[in-house]
Amino acid sequence: MIKFRCNNCQKKIGVKVEYAGRAIKCPSCETRLTVPQPQPAPSPVPAEAPAADLPDLAGLAALEAAAEPTQVRTAEAPGRQCPACGFGLAKTAVLCTNCGYSFMKGGQKLDTKIAKAEVGGGDSGRTPTVGGAGRMALGLTAASAVGVVSCIVWLLIMLFAGAELGLLAWGIGGLIGLTAGLIGRNPSPIYCGLTAGIAAVSILGAKAVVAGVVTLGVMGLGLIEDWGIISSLEHHAVMLQMAEDGELTGTEAEYAQFEARTFFGDELTDAEYARYDEVYDAWETVDPMVVERTAAMSEAEQEAAVAAASAQYSHLDFDTLRADQSELDEFTAGGMSDSFGGNFVATFGLLDLLFFGLAIATAYSVAYKQGA
Per-residue pLDDT reduced to its tens digit, 209-259: 988 888 887 776 655 555 544 457 788 888 888 988 888 999 999 999 888
CA atoms within 13 A on the CB side of 357: 5
- Which pLDDT value is given to residue 41? 63
Q: What is the torsion angle, in degrees rounded to the nearest 10, for the CA atoms of residue 197, residue 201, residue 203 and residue 207?
A: 150
Q: How many residues does the chain have?
A: 372
pLDDT digits (tens, 9 = 90+) for 267-319: 888 898 899 999 999 989 998 999 898 889 898 898 888 888 888 776 666 56
pLDDT > 90? residue 328? no
pTM over 0.75: no
Give me the mean pLDDT over the 168-190 stretch: 90
3-state percent breakdown (helix, strand, coil) of the chain, nearest 5: 55, 5, 35
Which of 140, 139, 136, 118 is closest to 127 using CA atoms? 118
- Residues 239 and 260 sit within 8 Å (Cβ to Cβ): yes
Write the CA distances from 268 to 117, 259, 261, 278, 320, integer angstroms. 90, 10, 8, 14, 23
Q: Which residue has the higher pLDDT, 183 or 230?
A: 183
pLDDT for the residue numbered 261: 83
Instruction: Compute φ and ψ for 4, nearest 5 degrees.
Output: -155, 175
d(CA 283, CA 229): 13
Identify the H or E element spanning 81: strand 80-81
Measure the CA–CA gap between 75 and 364, rounded to whole angstroms: 36
- C-alpha span between 125 and 68 (Å, rounded): 16
Position 336 scores a pLDDT of 63
Contacts of 116 (CB under 8 A, 6+ apart): 87, 97, 98, 124, 125, 126, 127
65: number of Cβ within 10 Å? 9
